[in-house]
Chain A
Amino acid sequence: MSTTTTTAPSGGARAAAATADYLDQRTGVGKAVKEFARKIFPDHWSFLLGEIALYSFVTLLISGVFLTMFFVPSMTEVHYDGPWRELQGVAMSEAFASTLRLSFEVRGGLLMRQIHHWAALIFMAAIVTHMMRVFFTGAFRKPREINWVVGFVLMILGLAAGFSGYSLPDDVLSGNGLRITDGVVKSIPILGSYLSYFLFGGEFPGHDIIPRLFTVHILLVPGLILALIALHLFLVVLHKHTQYPGSGRTNANVVGFPLFPVYVAKAGGYFFLVFGVIALMGATMSINPVWNYGPYDPSPVSAGAQPDWYMLFLEGSLRMMPGQLEYMIGDYTLSLNVLIPAMVVPGVLFMLLALYPFVEAFATGDKREHHVLDRPRNRPYRTAFGVSVLVAFFILVLAGSNDLIATHFHLSINDITWVFRFLLFLGPWASFVVTKRICLALQRKDRELVLHGHETGQIVRFASGEYIEVHKPLDAHERWLRVQHEAIRPLEIEPAEDSRGVRRKGYRADALRQRLSRVFYEDRIEPVTPAELEAAHSHGDHDALGSDQEKAPAELLAGGAPVGGGTHLVAGPSDETGPDARNS
């Protein structure tokens, strides 16, 4: 009997192999599949946030195809004649009428509409959450800056998709949004009115905007998003995945499972979870009930008229802006009261996000590749900056909901607006300071833990009468987690003039860089160095305490674990040489 046994392949397996071979010989796809299937993916839930965005986008495509079958992107006027009593005989555009037909007459239409809309909200929420993860862990650093920009553009495209889709049904709410867009476009100096005429094909609203938005929404933007998602994922495969710091994890490896079969199963299953949650929401929770708002006509604006959450910051910005900043220059009106909140504020927010990786790289002067993520506390400036941008965004979102805050908390809307006006400037600043302090404090805590170990709650009294608390030293893996990062120090640059007093080229750029890096990294807590650790562990030997006193805590410990070194250290690490349990 031989040691290897061969079983004859079944007919199905043979056919599959033949097909695979056929494809491989003509496309060479086998190599790609092998490469992809063996791609190592580290295990952490936060790496799935991007997948929520991907899967909700797939959900958007599937439900969107269904909706396209029934939606009529036309502004031709018709009179409604359908089952919804409140709109019987009312004049409306075909777009709105077909949305109503889709909602009340097409089988499953309302469910699909609601799934589509909930998926859109989840899509943007997932993008923002994923972006936060990438930002706070420093996953955007070299070599991933381009992928950060791709992701950023995807977010902007998501906004464009959301906005164009929101405007399609041609109900009052979406018309209000278009009217605001029109006002914003018109506020652009000199070009404004021309751009507005260009967009709407004449005076607002005209007859072109819905068909145009339709093309943008179902063809242009999804096409771009698909292409950029492909690029985004290709770059993820190319760069390999980042991983959280831990013992055994370096910039040269990835610790995790191969994509096939574990992650294919997990990720595939996750698609159905995402789809399931969105479908559940679509089936049970009403979203954008356009029949409540009625067909668009420019006169009515109802209370509670707001955009979807991802555009709410823009609404808040507009609501907060004092209205006095409108100037007449000759015959020309300069509407700073619209231009500033609708162009400058979002422009600043978005530019900060898009450019941050490059600013940080410039400040550190770091040209190395990074594949191990940062713990947010170890980059206090970045973490504080991210939090303050989020706080600014959140305040704008709240300001966009000021009417609901007023009614639900019985407050005066005027007071709320004033509070938010101040908070918009004070909130980001305060949260920056507080976050940075918290990060530095956590780093200090890390140092403390590494040097002195965990508190055990055991109080020991020496013969001399002194009380100490017994500390348990960290095991090697935990210690590694807290000392592995490098402290970035502000850049030191060469002097402006050399020894002969000749001015050095590039000194000004260096000086700018130095100033920036000082802003970023002047306040810092250095991680514990091996020498410091050594000193901390041995300082007990040099303490005034006698050797018999030193023994006391160890003797009191059950199990008689060895003394870790210093007076305050007991029960040494259990197994430092074995693999980190967290990695398996």
Chain B
Amino acid sequence: MKALAARRHDRRAPVVLLLLALLLTGALYAVVAPTSADAAPAAATGDVETGEKLFQANCATCHGPDATGTQDVPSLVGVGAAAVDFQVGTGRMPMQMNGPQAQAKPVQFDEEQIAALAAYVASLGPGPAIPTAEQVDPALGDAASGMALFRTNCAMCHNAVGAGGALSQGKWAPNLWETTPTHLYEAMATGPQSMPVFNDATLTPDEKRDIIAFLDLQGEATPGGIDLGSLGPVSEGLWAWVVGMGLLIGAAVWIGARSS
């Protein structure tokens, strides 16, 4: 001990201590570290504990360590697994930038992590669950009923065929042609951002599936030719001037030109 005490003030002591500390940390990590991702895939219900860790690392900065939110950021207690699956699954969360609304961007987590996050948030309080494959199967829905429902409930923001539209103050309703049936269902059930919630009393699960069936038919080739973005008469008028009048005035100049 005396020798050790004598060497305590040696100028190499901090380096040795640091090395020892690193060694200890490495050894501890080897013991405690979570096993790699080839554990059993969490299908419908994710691992709540993993979810909590992911939450603390990625979401707690804004939503608070206990997910109760702040004045500007919503509490996640009771939003349910569906909200998490939608927001994180479409890349809207974690939000990259403050703006009129969160933008869909490349998804930041893999399916398993999303499931874990969803499971954690679902454990905080009861809320809408992620729908089953059967609930969102477009083949089981009735497109005609879906169109009628879509017209009265959705078209005023999302356009008659779901091509998207403008909302107030720079917000917008996105195009729905590329959205997966599950995300469509979750959006209806949870009402992300400016969208109202269509709970099961407003639109029954069957009706939600009808809407999904209708949307499944949109965005494909239209009977009339190029759809011009399905934006309505404004784009038609623009093309009438650009293509129609452009070609016709070109032809007029050609005819009016003198032969030489």
Contact = CB atoms under 8 A, between A and B. Distances in A.
Nearest to B254: A45
Interface string A89-115: 110000000000001100000100010
Nearest to A166: B233
B159 A45 contact: no
A308 B232 CA distance: 9
A304 B151 contact: no
A12 to B, nearest CB: 30
A417 to B, nearest CB: 10
Given A45-B253, A48-B252, A274-B248, A302 B155 contact: yes
B249 interface: yes
Nearest to A311: B233
Nearest to B231: A304
A285 B170 CA distance: 30
Contacts of A90: 144, 147-148
B17 interface: no
Contacts of B161: 292
Contacts of A274: 248, 251
A350 interface: no
Of B100, B146, B166, B233, the most chain A CB neighbours within 10 A belong to B233
A301 to B, nearest CB: 6
A413 B170 contact: yes
Contacts of B100: 412
Contacts of B152: 299-300
Contacts of B245: 52, 122, 125-126, 129
Contacts of A314: none
Contacts of A85: 143-144, 217
A514 B44 CA distance: 86
Interface string B165-204: 1111110110000000000000000000000000000000
Given A48-B256, A125-B241, A300 B155 contact: yes
B59 to A, nearest CB: 26
Contacts of B15: none
Contacts of B9: none
A413 B169 contact: yes
Contacts of A291: 223
A14 interface: no
B173 A52 contact: no
- Determine the interface band of chain A, counting residues with CB < 8 A from chain B: 35 or more
A52 B252 contact: yes
Contacts of B255: 45, 48, 266, 269-270, 273
Contact of A406 (B148, B170, B214, B228): B170
A304 B163 contact: yes
A266 B247 CA distance: 16
Interface residues of B, number: 60
A309 interface: yes
Interface string A270-308: 100110011001011111110111100101111111111
Contacts of A411: 170
Contacts of A400: 234
A145 interface: no
A293 B160 contact: yes
B252 A270 contact: yes
A247 to B, nearest CB: 16
Interface in A393-421: 400-404, 406-407, 410-415
Contact of B248 (A117, A126, A292, A300): A126
Contacts of B227: 286, 289
Given A283-B225, A404-B166, A407-B172, A49 B252 contact: yes
Contacts of A125: 240-241, 244-245
B208 interface: no
A303 B159 contact: yes
B238 to A, nearest CB: 8
Contacts of B104: none
A118 interface: yes
Nearest to A177: B233
A88 B145 CA distance: 9
B257 A45 contact: yes
Given A284-B226, A404-B231, A312 B157 contact: no
A291 B244 CA distance: 24
Given A300-B151, A304-B160, A114 B224 contact: yes
B82 to A, nearest CB: 25
Nearest to B235: A404
Nearest to B147: A86
A252 B247 CA distance: 35
Interface string A115-136: 0011001100110010000000
A183 B157 CA distance: 22
Contacts of A47: 256
A44 interface: yes
Interface in A64-97: 85-90
Contact of B234 (A44, A292, A312): A312
A173 interface: yes
B74 interface: no
A356 B172 CA distance: 43
Nearest to B161: A292
Contacts of B222: 286, 289
B247 to A, nearest CB: 5
A55 to B, nearest CB: 9
Contact of A292 (B156, B160, B256): B160
B237 A121 contact: yes
B144 A303 contact: no
B151 A45 contact: no
A449 B158 CA distance: 58
B39 interface: no
A305 B234 CA distance: 9
Nearest to A265: B255
B232 A306 contact: yes
B164 interface: yes
B234 A303 contact: no
A321 B248 CA distance: 36
Contacts of B158: 303
Contacts of A439: none
Contacts of A526: none
B214 to A, nearest CB: 6
B230 A88 contact: no
Contact of B225 (A45, A173, A286): A286
A339 interface: no
Given A118-B244, A173-B160, A309-B238, 12 more contacts: A86-B217, A274-B251, A277-B247, A289-B230, A302-B159, A303-B156, A303-B173, A304-B160, A304-B231, A304-B234, A406-B166, A413-B170
29 contacts: A45-B253, A45-B256, A49-B252, A89-B144, A90-B147, A103-B223, A110-B223, A118-B244, A126-B245, A129-B249, A274-B248, A274-B251, A286-B227, A292-B230, A294-B147, A294-B148, A294-B151, A299-B152, A301-B155, A303-B155, A303-B159, A304-B230, A306-B234, A402-B166, A404-B234, A411-B170, A413-B168, A413-B169, A584-B258
Interface of A: 43-49, 51-52, 85-90, 103-104, 110, 114, 117-118, 121-122, 125-126, 129, 172-173, 266, 269-270, 273-274, 277-278, 281, 283-289, 291-294, 297, 299-310, 312, 400-404, 406-407, 410-415, 584
